[in-house]
Amino acid sequence: MLAALMQRQRGVCVAGMHGKTTTSALLGFALERLQARPSYAIGALVPQLEPHARFTPHSALCTPHFVVEADESDGTLGEFRPEHAIVLNVDAEHLDYYANLEAVCREFQTFAEHTRGLLIFCADDPRLAELFAKRSGAISFGFNPLATYRIELKAGPAGTQTPDPQPETGFDLWHAGGRLGGFTTQLLGEKNVSNCAAAIALLHQLGFPTADIAKAIA
């Protein structure tokens, strides 16, 4: 059903074993704050996105992005034909359906082959790096020094004795040999920073200004 609906819009699939809900919700939220009027289908209730699924009708003036949390558990991932895709990780999961890890990887490879435009993947996952190493134009993100969008965490304030009532995580992204910009998120932990970097990389590739992206994800 979702795969069919996406054909009428600019489909963006977020795939992977872990982090799909966070990343797809963040991307939908950011596109909303960037006034792009996205459609989205998120696999959990997200307070910042109510409802957690929305379809914005196509118009002569606008073909909305449709952000979908794409599930891999039942072998339907390869049915999606997105315009763009983010792949976060791949692991030996759902082995009640897949015969082994190699079968899981083949499903993700098929999904990547069906992606018409940008394929953005985590460079910190060695299996993804191997799967997509030969794909022309694939874009990576992560802490890996070779990532297309490289994350560098900012150090917290020194000597702080009391907890911050509104904690946040600061980080820089480096791209094309230079610093793309500084970003903050209310999400905590390196994994969530990586999820943010995935969304930022896609938004930057779509042409949104860096300063606007930083405000949208903060």
DSSP string, the chain: -HHHHHTTTEEEEEESSSSHHHHHHHHHHHHHHTT---EEE-SS-BTTBSSSEE-PPP-SS---EEEEE---TTS-GGG---SEEEE----S--TTTSSSHHHHHHHHHHHHHT--S-EEEETT-HHHHHHHTTSTT-EEEESSTT-SEEEEEPPPPTT--S--SS--EEEEEEETTEEEEEEEES--SHHHHHHHHHHHHHHHHTT--HHHHHHHH-
Question: How confident is the model over 47-72, as pLDDT tens digits?
Answer: 777 776 888 887 656 778 999 999 99
What domains lie within the chain, and their CATH numbers? 2-217 (3.40.1190.10)
Question: How confident is the model over 149-181, as pLDDT tens digits?
Answer: 999 999 765 334 445 556 899 999 999 999 999
Whole-model pTM: value is 0.91
